[in-house]
Amino acid sequence: MPARRPAAAHKPTTPAPAPAPTPGLRERKKRQTASRIWHAAVDLFVERGFDKVSVAEIAAAADVSKMTVFNYFGTKEDVLLAPMEEHVSDAAEAVRTRAPGESAADALRRQLLDLIEARDPSVGLSDSPRTLQVLRLVTETPVLLHRAHAFHHRSQQLLATALAEETGDAVLAEVAAAQLFGVRNAVFAEVHRRRMAGTPLNEVAADAATLARNAFALVEKGLSGYAVKA
């Protein structure tokens, strides 16, 4: 009889999320319209620059009315940054849904490494040319860069709120959120810098994963016993 293998060490697992309901026809059409507006806007912004394109011109390029653009997006900045806005609560959600025994740092590290492995556009690792186009637009346009910074700040505040609700200490939650979100921001910034410099995608992704692991290990020296879920 072959020797029995030793049992693998138990690792905390995150409960699988419930499957999202299939969108109906109306919702699918709305998503298609929003996507058409976004693609038309990116094309115009890349060709002429963000500041030199009007909402009316975006509407014409997308074959919709100007009012329709505003029905989907509140401002011209919103048109371009809508995909980013969809991820504003990602960090807080990773903390809220983590498994018992898993720390906040573990949850955020796992989430970030999963995004890197998946070459997710939200990290800047997609091989789509539009990912780089949007990165350049945001980096080179002050009003967009300001909005991107505001987005990151709001994401950090949502993370701090999630930690404070669980631990009851709002001050330490702010400290922890700043440290943990600092890792994400540092990794994102390095990915964006190297992608815009033309470094091959797979090389950037491999280095980003190493950076993420090292940075979280550094942070954990001060946060290893904080916010371990009961």
- Among 119, 116, 143, 121, residue whose Cα is nearest residue 133: 121
**CA distances for 156 relative to 42, 174, 229, angstroms:** 27, 8, 20
For residue 12, give both structure tokens.
């905390």
62 and 101 belong to one structural domain: no
Q: Is pLDDT at 16 greater than 60 in this prediction?
A: no
What pLDDT is attached to residue 222?
79
Residue 230 falls inside a structural domain: no
Residues 43 and 133 in one domain: no
Q: What is the rounded end-to-end Cα distance, in angstroms, of the chain?
A: 41
pTM: 0.80
- Cβ count within 10 A of residue 56: 11
Nearest residue to 162 (alpha-carbon basis) of 95, 101, 86: 95
CATH code, domain with 112: 1.10.357
Considering the domain architecture, whether residues 93 and 69 belong to the same structural domain is answered as: no
Helix (H, G, I), strand (E, B) or coil at 207: helix
Assess whether 152 and 195 both reside in one domain.
yes
- What are the backbone angles phi and psi of residue 166, rounded to the nearest 5°? -85, -40
What pLDDT, on the 0 to 100 scale, is given for residue 7? Answer: 41
Reply yes or no on whether the pLDDT at 145 is more than 60.
Answer: yes
**160 and 134 housed in the same domain:** yes
Pair (59, 152) in one structural domain: no
Single out the residue in 74, 107, 135 at which a domain terminates. 74
Within a domain: 101: yes
Give the count of domains, the chain.
2
Residue, of 100 and 11, whose pLDDT is higher: 100
User: Are 61 and 105 within one domain?
Assistant: no
Residues 192 and 95 occupy one common structural domain:
yes
Structural domain harbouring 61: 25-74
Are 100 and 213 in a shared domain? yes
Give the model's pLDDT for residue 27.
84
